[in-house]
Amino acid sequence: MSVDYYAVLEINRNATDADIKKSYRRLSLKYHPSSNRGPGSADKFNELAEAYDVLSDPRKKATYDKFGEEGLKGGIPAEFGENGAWTSGYVYHGNPEKIFRKFFGGDNPFADFYSKDGNEVAIGYNCLQGRGGKTHDSPIERDLQLALDDLFHGCTKKIKISRRVMNEDGYTSSIRDKILTIVVKPGWNEGTRITFPKEGDQGPNSIPSDIVFIVRQKCHPWFVRQNNDLLFTAQISLGMALTGFSLDIDTLDGRILNVPVNDIVHPKYTKVVTGEGMPLAKDPSQRGNLIISFDTTFPQKLSAERKHLIKQALAF
């Protein structure tokens, strides 16, 4: 009884080379003796290897398509052969593991199903039996450095990544570039995570990693962020601390904020300006506070006359 190699691989005669490879991958993993010890699985695994060995080779496939199994294995007449002689018949070597290992590459085609320490991963042989899906690679995390101005106003960042992508044949791959767009919302905090699902390297036996960008805030020349508040330190003289003054601060939205200070500025004194901090991520119309602390500069020397005048002033 002749063998229908197309039926063995569960494909039709119009199947492409990619279809042949895809079907062999699926069925060989399903019926591999390491994962399927059911009755007839070893014979099925062997039949799959022979069918793939023939249909994946253009010359063998062409001979089989025209002359069937008899012509393939018995040789074909001179007028169809080369050098005026009968072609030698095809003989299957009978080693399905050889076909399997050549297809998946390396001496251990099941390497993708094990962790780095050699232990079997949680999905086990469910992948091989077609029940459990593929392994999911760990997320790839990258820092996204943003200026305080970007986090105040919001912005759009475009990041080019290079990743390995599977080709149409299902088992080779190539490196391709892709642009990922991140829309930064006003008020985002340090540590905000932006996830792009399955944008990592692709592989035949794995689900691509998620790519995760983590917001990292760059230092600002004069503001320090504390949650939704902005901290600002003003340099003042001792005379200003005792007698009052007016402070001009350049804001992140391009204004000059005038802050009068009429209190005596003692070492623990702070001035809070409501609503002049960072936008709230959940409601950018609301803002935190601006908290001003002061660094008072003391004179290095005082003449006897000035000391006397200061004593008189403070005596009241």
pLDDT by residue (tens digit) across 227-276? Answer: 999 999 999 999 999 999 999 999 999 999 999 999 999 999 999 999 99
Residues 74 and 47 in one domain: yes
- Tell me which of 21 and 164 has the higher pLDDT: 21
Tell me if 31 sits within 8 A of 41, measured CB to CB: yes
The domain of 92 spans 5-126
Residues 10 and 122 in one domain: yes
Residues 171 and 201 in one domain: yes
Residue with tokens 């496939």: 61
Whether 109 is covered by a domain: the verdict is yes
Single-letter residue type at 71? G
Tell me if 292 sits within 8 A of 271, measured CB to CB: yes
- pLDDT of res. 230: 96
- pLDDT of res. 34: 76
Question: Which one of 102-106, 144-148, 164-168 scores highest in mean pLDDT?
Answer: 144-148
Residues 13 and 119 in one domain: yes
Euclidean distance between CA atoms 19 and 133, whole angstroms = 19
Instruction: Kindly report the CATH number assigned to the domain that includes residue 120.
Output: 1.10.287.110
Tell me if 121 sits within 8 A of 205, measured CB to CB: no
Whether 204 is covered by a domain: the verdict is yes
Residue range 85-96, pLDDT digits in tens = 445 688 888 899
- pLDDT of res. 7: 94
Residues 148 and 61 in one domain: no
pLDDT higher than threshold 60 for residue 174 = yes
Whether 152 is covered by a domain: the verdict is yes
CA 299 to chain centre: 57
- pLDDT of res. 269: 94
Query: What is the average per-residue pLDDT within 64-86?
Result: 68
Residues 240 and 294 in one domain: yes
Number of domains in the chain: 3
Euclidean distance between CA atoms 228 and 49, whole angstroms = 64
- Tell me which of 140 and 113 has the higher pLDDT: 140
Whether 91 is covered by a domain: the verdict is yes
Residues 22 and 107 in one domain: yes
Q: What is the mean pLDDT of the chain?
A: 83
Residue range 182-227, pLDDT digits in tens = 999 999 999 999 999 989 888 777 788 899 999 999 999 999 999 9
Residues 88 and 109 in one domain: yes
| Strand-pair partners of 14 | none
Query: What is the average per-residue pLDDT within 109-121?
Result: 42
**242: helix, strand or coil:** helix
pLDDT higher than threshold 60 for residue 125 = no
| Domain end residue (candidates: 77, 107, 126) | 126
Nearest in space to 288 (alpha carbons), one of 215, 223, 233, 213: 223
Rg of the chain over Cα atoms, rounded to whole angstroms, equals 37
Residues 213 and 227 in one domain: no
Residues 158 and 119 in one domain: no
- Tell me which of 209 and 181 has the higher pLDDT: 181
| Domain end residue (candidates: 87, 105, 126) | 126
Residue with tokens 């070893």: 42
Tell me if 279 sits within 8 A of 286, measured CB to CB: yes
Q: How many helices (H) and strands (E) does the chain have?
A: 8, 13
Instruction: Kindly report the CATH number assigned to the domain that includes residue 170.
Output: 2.60.260.20
Residue range 3-54, pLDDT digits in tens = 899 999 999 999 998 889 999 988 988 888 877 777 888 899 999 999 999 9
- pLDDT of res. 283: 94
Euclidean distance between CA atoms 290 and 272, whole angstroms = 6
Whether 131 is covered by a domain: the verdict is no
Q: What pTM was estimated for this model as a whole? A: 0.55
Beta strands in 66-208 (DSSP E): 135-136, 140-146, 155-166, 173-184, 193-196, 206-207
**29: helix, strand or coil:** helix
Whether 166 is covered by a domain: the verdict is yes
Residues 183-194 as b or e (16 or more Cβ within 10 Å = b): ebebbbeeebeb
